[in-house]
Chain A
């Protein structure tokens, strides 16, 4: 068996000599036969013929002998490939057009597939990631079913739960990484975690060691684990960093270890990890109602997620029922696989983009199929000859498919380069996408490309072969080209291909239009404050240095004073977070003058901290009352300012000024002013907000851990960034400033996802429109060329230029209109999938649909007009002369 295979393979190598050898062998045989016949008495001539007759057909004999070795299929394939390459080289225009079109389609689809595969489909790079769950709390008023976790609830889960082999807690945070050796202070994103986070995930540090339970205590020495990137960038990649101390928020932390380069948790911006039970106060960690953390659990083998979640619900419910007066204790638990928690946000947008590239690929294939049909018509005589010589339909189809395979492979080569470039661009421009660090092209992607090559070749090849019919052979072979035409079939096929193209283009255009409208609405929504000439930057005062409220107050005062004197600064203010930044956090409150709420019911709203000059700085109108008193620093009474939504919801028809809110540890705050509404989140309507003074003397847990400085200027506000940073450095050289953005840049960053999706989809739609237009142009030029004779006759019989024009345009617009109809139906079905990406726009927005139809009709008219004009230029005499 094996020997036989080896023998066959050896023959493959000696193929060249095979024919010559066999020829020589048979020639000898034939001559010996001839001799024998001569000896029998025939003449030399007759003997020769007799011998020849006995041998039969030399060629067939040789082919049969070769066939025995079983490499016939390979020979045919190689022959087809060589032939195909020759054909493609002879038509460089066609080849270039087809390859480019396919490259574009395959490249974009591959790029998106790579992203989708790496981000959404690849499992997390942790041990047994299927067992990792993200746990949520279900708020008692049902408004937040996937709420963050409270330290107290987590503690109960840890104590009582049996379903998890490990439970870990995670909190966010930022630190000022202080200068060492002349480097500037830097703001680093960090994560506070329980000591067992890394073991729960199943990862080990690359250097040094992990936290132990002893490190995760309030009394322990401060310790930290660094990320690989931070270690390389900031500490020169020295292994001696383990055991050394670094300065975070003006405190000394011992470096325990460094995580591996590929590790990024909770996302790739996290640069270091600190023990949460050490960083946060015991009150915070035991509070059952302060939802500041994320809990993760690893299921025990054999336990399902549903069972585990049910157990957690029971535990938290018990806690909830034991404290009926605290309405912020959750009443149930939920869970999701950790992967879904991390990438859930980007799932729909990525799939939408992938779908769009699939449409584009289909359009590209249809276009190439149309080109192939055109070329097939031009080569029909050659096909007829081959068929007449004995080529079966399958053989001809095989040759045709080999050619499309060559085109497809060439397109894929170009597409691979395009995909690589697109992926680099994606990674660079979308650092906000979860798991963006995991995006890479691997074996699966290459397999995907291979599948695409075959799929495109098959589709384009088969689609362009539909019109080939056997009985046309004889007709095609006739020399006279006037009295026969290739028939209606190829034209009809091309028209149908075109209609499909137009339909898909409509779908893409509608999608692009909806996203465009949605983005415009979102980006330019009224925030309720000024957005021109506004600069913002973020900083946080480390507790170690600014422990007392009076220390913070003096820093803020000094900062504002110096900043306000800088040339170009019109106004300056401080706030916890500016409008648009995101949901700032909330707190419960009660209105002193109103009747008390029934037990278990609670009111809460967004809390902000601001300095007196903030509202003026951002142009938020002060509608009634006054802003905070400048001089009220450490004294009483406490003051609060509310916004319009607050009044609408809680003081309908009342005068709020002078009333009191009870919040923040049961202190009464006097309402002294009323300001205009602002949106905390771009896509959400304005909500009630209560503003507290920024340096009011509250307990530790209620003070914002970061602050934003807001600058207003009538000149180029971005130029003020450097002078202001210098002011910070003068006041405290260990303080780092981050997120230095103008309001426009900030809004751009927040709408990055929407603008990116919109840009890509618009680009795809434009490409497909161009392809459809080119396709339409091509079909009509062909029709005009084919029917020149007929047009000439019509004109000779009295048809006017206008009639001819109308006839040709009619030919072109019919498939376009059919395509538009199909496209509308398709779009109506498909855009429903987009609704989670839309803002302020309905998926069946009539204006968008109408505009798309108009654009498409316009482009189609232009594409048909040019060949039509050419048709009118036909001179009947000249055309009819060629008989």
Chain B
């Protein structure tokens, strides 16, 4: 397969592994945070950690769209179905995430709620057109990558006068989250985690460009390398980060030049700016309230905003007791530090969001990597 297999070649991986071994200073530790769940997934799926020296550690970040959405927002979506009898259109990953009262969208669907799994915003628009007598809400989630298609759908619905369609907007912003992690007391003062550098998002950066990271590379003196999602991209970017650290540099470098430019996709940016504006504050699972970290629908398109149309309340709900998703999302803890990991919380019966999505750190650890943990429960128990 062209343009994919080239980035998964074993011989090149071996060469990069050798270059990394040559480059690392054995006297120090390199803690590199991959912000995106896409990178986490690639690292585990291809076994990239096996090719890295022991003193280079991947710290898994919060960049998994379904993981960072707080339970209250899922409760909101469930209310739309149960109290307002809407057809709720959602991306598939969201359906299994646990909400309050042991509910999930999948369970609500099983008990009669009209919840449809869609692959694109265009599917949601079609469902709205096909069901003129019903209210149809698109449950919009995701980082900057998924925002432009939502903007397109809102514009289309607006232009076409599709008055039974609205969007429950939960789009969040990457730079604000990275900055929040770097400003957290664990990183800044307590020193309980050290993050030496960042793998910058690949798909997100194709939209926003590499420029938005320049501020915090400078401000927090941490190198950032925008990295593609293929395993060779991750290794090449690790080498670039290690070089910067060895040379005392903290710049934004772009490994993913085949897609990402400094300015990003200006057309998509202007589309997003036309439809959305910054929220003053938004709650993230793990990070809490983060100022200016999410988008809301502009007043010009107020009629398409489900939060306004259904007068949706702010719901504050707490995570399952003992669930370490919040600390794991900040990189403070690893999945195996959680008491629930692999005991009551597995992909078949997730307690927290990080165990649901294939981009979640817990799911990646469990599904691909638990043979490295000698005391993990065996396969038989997980299947029961």
Q: Do A and B make up one complex?
A: no
Chain B residues with CB under 8 Å of chain A are: none
